[in-house]
Amino acid sequence: MVLVVFAVPLIADQVRATKSALLEVSGRIRLDAVLEDPDINDYVRGTRNEQSFIDPELELRMLFHVKMGVKAHLALRTPPYAQDVLGGRPISITDNNSGQNKLYPTRIMEVSEAYLEARQFLHKNFSISVGLLRLNYPLISDSEHGTFLLAIGESEDPFAGTIYANWPDGRGGKSGMSSTRFSWNEPGRAGSVEAGGLKFSYTYKFGFGLAKQQKRFVETQFDLIAVTTYETLYFNQDRDIVGVVGRFWYPLRKQPTLWGQMAILTYAVKANSRIWTLGGGLAYRATRSLTIYGESYGQTGVIYRPTSPSDTPPFDGVLSTREGTIIQQAFGGYVGIRYEAKPTEESGAFTHWRPYFDISYWWISGDKNPHDKRNQDFLTYEDVDTTLILEEDRYGCDLDTNYEALKLIVGCKPRSEVRIYIVFANFRRARDYTAKDRIGRELDFVIKWQYTEDLSLKFGLANVWQADYMLGGQAGRRHPCIAVAQMVLSF
């Protein structure tokens, strides 16, 4: 919906707008119906009495054109219903100051984006965005895998929730330990991270000789990011992201043959703690049908663990039984190939179904010893949701670190608006001293249908077996499964 507001002077033979504004209003309604095994609920939420639910989500977006090249963005959305405290009912919270109980709604709209964007800022190649931002840097935008490094707006907090390093009883004469990664925050929730700050972008396009004459250019974009993701006001224990993400496309940004990105980012965990992340990704379309791709990043830095309990609330993370400074040493990466048949006029009927396959290998480091002063969990603001159970961040286990996986995707596109595919993935823990290393083997069946321009549908079935970690080594014949039906209406 587009609204145009203008004022004109009341002078005959002169009709000219002296002030105008364009307001674009859009949004979407998302409805997920989920039926999942009690084993999944028990692992994710600690309860076995909830097997099915419906998760509604509403998002409203407004784009206000302030003047030439300047826009204001505002987005409101409801939080995920599945992570609500008591569904749609208000909750009672005791006020520490008055001692009285107060009711607070659990289904309020929250601001997910609110920023001002200025293009051609000071120079035709510069742009700047200031406010509450959404940052997303996927290597392949339409991939089933998602975003590996930075997906603010879809990611949960990497400094919350559990890790996969359990120390068995009797190892090295030490007692068993099942640690949480950082105890000062609530468990991760999809889309819970917000980024307030600025993004300064520089774009440049260049070419040489014959390539320039053929309009084959290298297009680059560099984004300087400085945002706060967790504000603690007077505690001075904020978390932030500061760094540069550079991307390039050749020869055309919309249809590149070679493209990639490189990132130098720092994450402030709290006072005296900072993690550095360095790496990048590259994708190459070797032929019309074959694409080779991969990303890898290394991490280093320090995480300060207070030595006194009085210094902890609420910022003492249980990374180690040792006190003092914890050294961060982690790595994460993946590599894969994708082949998709491209039909021609001479192709057979099978090729017109546009079959494709995607095979990839993932290795994400994990901490293997909670009794030393080194953390090896790879920590990113990712949004990798290849599988519906083990990796999905809304209803699944949201596996983020300490795993290696082999993923195979086989599918077809019988029509331009329909995609049908099967995912097989085998997950093992990358580093751990526990007896059972098998996280699980998962098989998914997914159908995506863009029914109209505004309405899309998704149906998915998934099953996991040999899930020793999820089921505490008691997998046996238990095979956790899930069924999801999704409808998204855009307006």
What CATH number is associated with residue 437? Answer: 2.40.160
pLDDT for residue 442 is more than 80: yes
**CA angle, corner 253, sides to 262 and 213, nearest 5?**
115
pLDDT tens-place string over residues 343-389: 777 777 777 789 999 999 999 988 777 667 888 888 888 889 999 98
- Indicate the helix (H) or strand (E) that contains 45: helix 38-45
The lowest-confidence range among 73-87, 134-148, 380-394 is 73-87
Residue 279: the pLDDT is: 97
Q: What is the pLDDT of residue 316?
A: 42
Res. 321: pLDDT tops 90: no
Tell me which residue has tokens 């590996």.
148
Number of domains in the chain: 1
| pLDDT at 459 (0 to 100) | 96
Q: Considering the chain, what percentage of its residues have pLDDT values greater than 70?
A: 70
- Burial of 334-347, coded b for 16+ CB within 10 Å and e otherwise, reads bbbebebbeeeeee
pLDDT at residue 274 above 70?
Answer: yes
CB 366 within 8 A of CB 321: no
> For the whole model, what pTM was predicted?
0.83
**pLDDT tens across 202-229, in order?**
999 887 665 555 566 789 999 999 998 8
Contact between 328 and 375 under an 8 Å Cβ cutoff? The reply is yes
Give the position of tokens 């290597």: 139
Calculate mean pLDDT across residues 291-298: 97
The DSSP letter of residue 213 is H
Q: Name the strand (E) or helix (H) holding 42.
A: helix 38-45
Evaluate whether residue 109 is within a structural domain. no
- Where b means 16+ CB within 10 Å and e means fewer, 219-229 reads bbbbbebebbb
CB 231 within 8 A of CB 194: no
Q: Which two tokens stand for residue 205?
A: 């396009």
**Contacts of 104 by beta carbon, 8 Å cutoff, 6+ apart:** 90, 91, 92, 93
Q: Establish if 5 belongs to a structural domain.
A: no
Check whether 291 has a pLDDT greater than 70: yes
Q: What is the mean pLDDT of residues 12-37?
A: 73
- Does 441 map to a domain? yes
User: What is the enclosing helix (H) or strand (E) of 418?
Assistant: strand 418-428
Pairwise CA distance, residues 455 & 162, whole Å: 36
Strands (DSSP E) found in 16-139? 19-36, 52-67, 70-77, 91-94, 101-104, 110-119, 126-133
- Domain assignment of residue 342, yes or no: yes
State what percent of residues in the chain have pLDDT above 90: 37
> Is residue 343 in some structural domain?
yes
d(CA 420, CA 408): 14
pLDDT at 362: 96
Top-confidence residue, 446 or 255: 446
Containing domain of residue 359, as a range?
A: 31-56+118-490
> Model confidence at 5, in pLDDT bands (50, 70, 90)?
very low
Q: Which helix (H) or strand (E) holds 211?
A: helix 209-213
Q: Is residue 181 part of a domain?
A: yes
The answer to whether residue 353 sits within a structural domain is yes
Assigned domain for 234 exists: yes
